Structures are given as structure tokens and as C-alpha cells.
Chain A
Amino acid sequence: MEQGNNRDIILSCRHISKAFGGTQALDDVQFDIARGEVHALLGENGAGKSTLMKIIIGLFKADKGSITFDGEPYLAKDPADAIRKGISMIHQELNPEYHLTIAENIFLKREDVRGKVFLDKKSTNLKAQQILDELGVKLNAKRMIEGLTLAQCQMIEIIKAVSFDAKLIIMDEPTSSLDSEETEALFNMIRRLKSQGVSIVYISHRMDEIFQICDRVTVLRDGRYVGSEEIGNVDREKLISMMVGRTVKNIFPKTECAIGETVLKVENLTGKGFSDISFEVRAGEIVGISGLVGSGRSETMRALIGLDPLTSGKVYLSGKEVRIRSVRHALRLGICMVNEDRKNFGLVLHRSIRENISLPNLRERHRKGLINKRREVRETAEAAQTLTVKAASLELDAYSLSGGNQQKVVLAKWLMSKPKVLILDEPTRGVDVGAKSEIHSLMGRFASEGMAIVMISSELPEIMGISDRILIYREGRLNGEVMRQDILSGKENQETVLAREF
């Protein structure tokens, strides 16, 4: 498998497997990194990249497999242990101590002390300044973190790793919120580290960057190892085909149904994380929205239904312009959204299934503020039955249900409100296979009843199997549209769709 036979391997993962409940997140994966190499890790959403990294830094325990690091068997108990052993990870979301100085942040919990009690600020500052200077970062070590840019905070994080004598630094989407100048500074830092023999795992969706900075690339797909290549031996198309594979099966049968009038139309929607989004959805139509996590898909929908603010843009419902002020307003207009984060935005976990289903629907069903319990019990039971929620009683906490059943409860609650437009964000995430296909056929049924459906999904086969039309997001903008006929005719496939996302 390894072409470079005289490479000095620093980290070697062998036969790593990890399952979460029923889903196999990693299946017999291997991963090798040489000393002083920048190694890209590539794969679609959910390919297993973060799971693998979390195993390496000790956040998860692998079910199977072994890791050798720097010639020794390696097993990190937790991230702190990994850092001690020489592996640090720079997370996408940084959490520095904002009210401490740069030096204090770098040497947190290992400050120099005098007489075992008193902090020796002078020597800590001196040491921190030394590393800063060494790596060419023009910052004063005595400065507070508060007020630094994200890029600077990231640098501090990297410097912290270096101060631990890290031999391997994992960077998760390090450039996702950097501008081009900051990215260049980061690349300079990476080159400097590389020349000092530090290895880097570089996780990114940005192909250009991978070709620019990385030496080798490893591709994962559906939790499996696809292959590793010298960066010089591959091109964009090759990498995309490695990520997708060639197994397109129509495993999500779609109910064909008549498509009616335009129900929802949006023009030039702009907000945090997305800009200039225009599309329309017709009655009976399922519009799929594809794109990488963080490409602005969910952000657009959240703003559309009034959960987040919208900077500009117009929304038309059945031809009439509407200004949606709040979720309540959207609901009254007949637009609702199944949030991807069902624990935080979908359910009140410690209330009963009945109360969860009826929560958004009581407004139309009360008399002078009083709830008709009997009617509520009957109607929520009907909704739960339609969605085949499996529960001993509707009086049980939503908490007690499995992921798939929780999702069905969320769907039941919105279905009961009989919306004109139903927006689904990752409706089948964390749902077992059986419940998944049930949810798909239900979506088909709602569409055939004239509902306009928008579905966001990270799973290409799912979105390609069920959508009449697919909108593709790339870095906050729409980057193309794919019609169902083109998929059926073979003109478009997973590769062509994915290529537009990168």
C-alpha cells in the first residue's frame, strides 16, 4: 500500500473500527503520517474524519485496532494525555481563556512557580515571548486574549501545541473563518513547523488549499479507508471520485406525484453565513439542498423561518410577499422547520410525547386559553399513529425514545400543524435504517398531498434519491441546480454534484 518505502512514519493507525449504536463510524481504517509531513484528510460529511481524529486524541476509544506513535504503542486516555505524548489538535471552535494573557493561556496549568505557591509571571512571560518570536508571531505575550482576531487565537493555540513539543498537530478546518491574508500567515507557520520536523494532519474541504500546502492525502468514505496518495499524483477529479466511489444505487424510492403551483419563493436572501440565495418550491415538490456542513444551508433556512435574523432579501408565499418576523409568524403563515438539532430545537425532552406533539398546535385549538385535553389526546395519538411512533404510551417523556422515534415525534408535531411548506434539516440523521425509509416514504406522502418540501441533507444518495430538484450550496452561495431527470438519465451523478460543493 505504501509507495514511499523509506518514509519515516511517526503515526501509524491500523485496523481502527468504531461503532456508535448501530452505525459503523469507522471500519478497519488505516492512516499513516510521516515525520515532517503535511497530510490532508479528506472525505464527505460523515465519512469518519472527526471520529478518527477523536480516537487519536483520546476523546473516543476505538473498538478495534492499534496505533503506534513515534515507534511506540500509543493510546491516549484523554486529550491532555495526547498532548503530553506529543499530539495536539487545533479545533475549529476555539475556547481560549479570554481574560488571561497570551502567556497565561499558553502555559495554563504549568506556570512557573516560586516557592511552590507564587506564580513566576516574569519567567512565564519570557518563555512565551521566546516561542512567539521564534515562530515569527508579532504579539506581546503579556497581552490579553480578548480582542485578538480568530486567526491570532488560532496561532496562540498552535504555539501552545509547540510549547508542549508537539510532534503531530491536527488542524480541523483551520482556514474556515480566515481571510486570504490570514490563511497565508497560517501556511507560513505550517511550513515553519514542517521544517522543524513537526507533522500536520490537515482536515479541510478546500481543495485549492490541499494542493497548495499538503504533501500527501488520505481519503475516507463511509467510515472506510479508500486510499492515500502523494499530492502530486492526484488531481481534483481523482480526489472527488475517491470520495464518492462508484456505487450509486437507488435505495431511496421516490413517490412520483404531480407538481403544482409555486408555494414558496425567495429572492436574494442574505444573512450570516449565506448570501444572494434565490429559489422556489412548488406544491408537491421535494427540493433537496446539498452542500457541506457550514456552507450556509441550515443558516438560510433558520433565517427564513425567523429563528435567526435576515439581512436582506424577499420571501413570497403563494405569490404574496411576506416579512417573517418570528417563528410564530412563520407558523401562522404555514411554514415550519424540522431542525437538525432535535435535542435543542426540536423537543422538550423531559415533557411527554403528547405535550411535545401538541406544543406548536395549541394556538388553533384552545378555547379562551383552555386546552381541550380529550381532543388533544385524540389528535396527538392520530399524528403519532400516522408517523408510526413506537412508544408504550404518549405520556412517556420524549427523552425515553430512540433517536428515530424522537425524530418521528418532531415530524408528528409539525405534521399536525398542516403546513404548506415543510423544511427538513437532516431529517434522518441519527436514525436507524428502518425509520429512515419510513421517513422517506412519509415525505413522499406529504408531497403527494400538496405540501411543498425542502430537505437539507448531507447524504448524497439520500438527497439524490428523493428530490425532484437539488440546489447545491458552496461557501454560502448557490452553486448550481440539478434536476431529477438529469440524475435518472445519468447526466448527473454523485461526482458531478459533489464537485460543485467543493
Chain B
Amino acid sequence: MINADRPSRKLLRVDQTGLALFMRRYGIGIVMLGMIVLLSVISPTFRKPSNVISILLQISINGILALGMVFVITAGGIDLSIGSMLALTSVIVGVVLNSTGNIALACILAISATTLFGLINGLLIAKFQMFPFVVTLATQLVIRGVAYIISGGYSQSLANADFKNIGNGKVFSTIPIPVVILFVIALLAYVLMHWTLFGRYTYAVGGNINSAIASGVNVFWTRVFSFVIMGFCAGVAGVIMTSRISAAQPNIGVGYETDAIAACVIGGTSFAGGIATIPGTVIGIVIIGLIYNGMNLVGINSYMQTITKGLLIIGAVMLDMFINKRK
């Protein structure tokens, strides 16, 4: 009666559960493959290796943000403050780098700062039972303000060549460093979400917080830690971004949370919490990259791209509800 095998072996037997399970796991992957095939046919440029590398580079910042965001959403939260965190990273890197010239110190301090704000977000939400939406809407303003104060409101250009290398350099002169970082973070996220206690607790807390409490899960720290991860990822993404634009600016990063959330949702993350996979999220990230890249290649303007992205999010949610018959 009991079958502990993975369900994929049973997929040939097309019953409803099998099909639903299949679509849930791989449905969005099929969408991505469809997009790749379509773009390859339409645009010869799309198939060039240089374009593939450029897509990967384009998605690296949003990818890192989305890989943090997926933990927050899965635990039942949301983080709107990551755009401001990017700006905070940028100005801290700028100040430290221009005064000491120490790249490592600049990066560590900047990432620590965003991680700390992630911790604050998490504590406010988990300790005082405040809505994540409201808390991060507020801290977004606070963090942005701090960034302006640190920078005095001015942009600073960064001349340090080694620092520029983080965002623009390549490993083996082919793969850009941000892509490598994205890859490493994706791997870490995969292990964390799918192989560890924390990941399992994240699913339980987001899926049904009462059951999680009744099962002895430390709900408090699970929720807090999801925001800490988000803060850390925002810091890493911020360093890459600062390096790529070679300037410390307090006004960057506005609206970045949208793409990160979109990637999660397109990748099958349930906004109700408790359901997400890292491979799905990575696919969501790639799909967003494909929308930008593909539409650029085909010559559709950026306004249309925005509209498409919006419609795709709605489509992804509807697909998710349809497949899982869930509200």
C-alpha cells in the first residue's frame, strides 16, 4: 500500500493526481522551454553564446534578490524594502572604499548592514505580529533615508579598478563573476530550502503556522531568519550593482522588489506561503530575463515589456490556482 518511491515513476499512469503533480512540478519549466524555442526560431541573435552570457548577466542581480525573496514569501511574508537595501549597500561601499580603499571591508560592512536591517524587519514582524507588508513598506523609507544621510545625498564615482571587476570581470574570460555568484547563491538556496531543517520549517510556517507551532517548530526564528537571508541577498546584489555602475548612489534600486517577487511567483511560489521550489524560482528568474532580452531582440519597446511582465504574473498565478485548485 505504501509507496515511498518518488512519484515520477508513477507518472505513466495518467491519473489526475499524477498529472497535477507533474504540471505543478514541471509546468513552468515547459513554459520556459517554449519561450526559448520560440525566441531561437524568431531571432538568430538570441542563439548566439554571447547573448546567452548577456542574459545570465542581466538576470544575476534580480536572481540573487529573488532567491532571498523566495524564503520570505514561503514563510508567509513579503519584503518591500530590498530596493532601499540596494541603495544602502551602494553608499556604504562608496564611503568605505573611498576612505580606506579596502574592498573586502567595504563589501562586508555593506552586506552586514543590509543583513542587520533584514534582522530588524524579521524581529518586528515575528515579535510584534505586524504585517510584513506594512513593516517593510515602512523600513523601506527608513533605509532609503539612512542611505541619503550616509551619502549626504550625493553620488560618488568609484575609481577602484579591482572593485569594478566584481561586476564586470569574467572567470576564465568567459563567465561573468555576477553569474558565478548567482550560481553559488542558487546552490546554497537549494541546499537550504530542500535539504535542511530550516527549509522544512519554512514550508511548515508558511503552510500552516498553527500546525507548525503544534508540531514544536520554532516559528519565531524561522520567520526572522527568512528576512535575514533576504537582507544578506540584497547586500550581495547591491555590491554587484554598485560595481557595475561604478558609482555609489543613494537613489538606485527603486522598484527592484517587483521583479524579485515576480520571479518567485512565476516560478510557482504561492503567495499564501508554504509552497515554493528553488528550481522553480530559478526558472522564474530566467523567464523574466527572457522577456527583457527577447523583446529587446524582437524590437518591442520597454513599455510593452513592463505590460507583458505584469500580465505574465497574473497568468502565472492563475495557472497556479488552476493546477492546484487552490485560492
Contact = CB atoms under 8 A, between A and B. Distances in A.
Interface in B85-138: none
A371 B212 contact: no
B198 A396 contact: no
Contacts of A354: 4
| Residue of B203, B204, B211, B326 contacting most chain A CB atoms (<10 Å) | B211
Contacts of B214: 307, 327, 337, 339, 345-346
Contact of A396 (B1, B17, B208, B275): B17
B210 interface: yes
Interface stretch (A192-200, A234-242, A280-288, A376-384): A376-384
A373 B21 CA distance: 20
A390 to B, nearest CB: 6
Contact of B10 (A326, A363, A392): A392
A362 B197 contact: yes
Nearest to B207: A348
Interface string B202-223: 0110011011111111100000
A363 B214 CA distance: 14
Contacts of A327: 213-216
A477 B107 CA distance: 63
A380 B2 CA distance: 10
A131 B216 CA distance: 52
B197 A360 contact: no
Interface residues of A, number: 46
Interface string A348-359: 111100110011
Nearest to B270: A350
A377 B203 contact: no
A377 B4 contact: yes
Given A327-B216, A369-B196, A349 B208 contact: yes
Contacts of A28: none
A129 B11 CA distance: 67
Contact of A400 (B2, B17, B204, B275): B17
Given A359-B217, A362-B197, A348 B2 contact: no
B3 A394 contact: yes
A297 interface: no
Interface in A260-319: 307
B197 A366 contact: yes
Given A339-B214, A385-B2, A394-B3, A348 B203 contact: yes
B211 A347 contact: yes
B197 A355 contact: no
B274 A350 contact: yes
Interface string A402-423: 0000000000010000000000
Nearest to A348: B207
A395 B6 contact: yes
Contacts of B213: 307, 327
A360 B216 contact: yes
Contact of A371 (B21, B197, B215, B326): B197
Nearest to B199: A371
Contact of A350 (B5, B191, B196, B275): B275
Contact of B200 (A359, A380, A413): A359
Nearest to A337: B214
A429 interface: no
A344 interface: yes
B195 interface: yes
Contacts of A370: 191, 195-197
Interface string B6-26: 110010000001000100000
Given A388-B1, A391-B2, A369 B198 contact: yes
B7 A395 contact: yes
B299 to A, nearest CB: 42
Nearest to A385: B2
A355 B206 CA distance: 14
B216 A393 contact: no
B211 A345 contact: yes
A328 interface: yes
A186 B88 CA distance: 63
Contacts of B212: 348, 359
Contacts of A358: 200
Contacts of B3: 391-394
A395 B5 CA distance: 8
A261 B270 CA distance: 49
Contacts of A330: 216
A389 interface: yes
B203 to A, nearest CB: 6
A394 B324 CA distance: 18
A331 interface: yes
Contacts of A366: 196-197
Given A350-B326, A351-B203, A396 B7 contact: yes
Contacts of B274: 348, 350-351
B275 A359 contact: no
A327 B216 CA distance: 5
B326 A331 contact: no
Interface in A75-126: none
A199 B234 CA distance: 66
Given A339-B214, A348-B208, A373-B195, A390 B1 contact: yes
A390 B2 CA distance: 7
Nearest to B211: A348
A363 B197 CA distance: 8
A369 B191 CA distance: 10
Nearest to A389: B2
A371 B196 contact: yes
A331 B2 contact: no
A369 B198 CA distance: 7
Contacts of A360: 215-217
27 contacts: A307-B214, A327-B213, A347-B211, A348-B203, A348-B212, A349-B208, A350-B274, A351-B204, A351-B207, A359-B200, A359-B211, A360-B216, A363-B197, A370-B191, A370-B197, A384-B2, A385-B1, A388-B1, A390-B1, A391-B1, A392-B17, A393-B4, A393-B6, A394-B2, A394-B4, A396-B21, A413-B215
Which 6 A-B pairs rank lowest in CB-CB distance, beginning with the nearest?
Answer: A348-B207, A381-B4, A328-B216, A331-B216, A360-B215, A345-B214
Given A348-B274, A393-B10, 9 more contacts: A327-B216, A346-B214, A348-B204, A351-B203, A351-B207, A362-B200, A380-B4, A390-B1, A396-B17
Interface of A: 307, 326-328, 330-332, 337, 339, 344-351, 354-355, 358-360, 362-363, 366, 369-371, 373, 377-378, 380-381, 384-385, 388-396, 400, 413
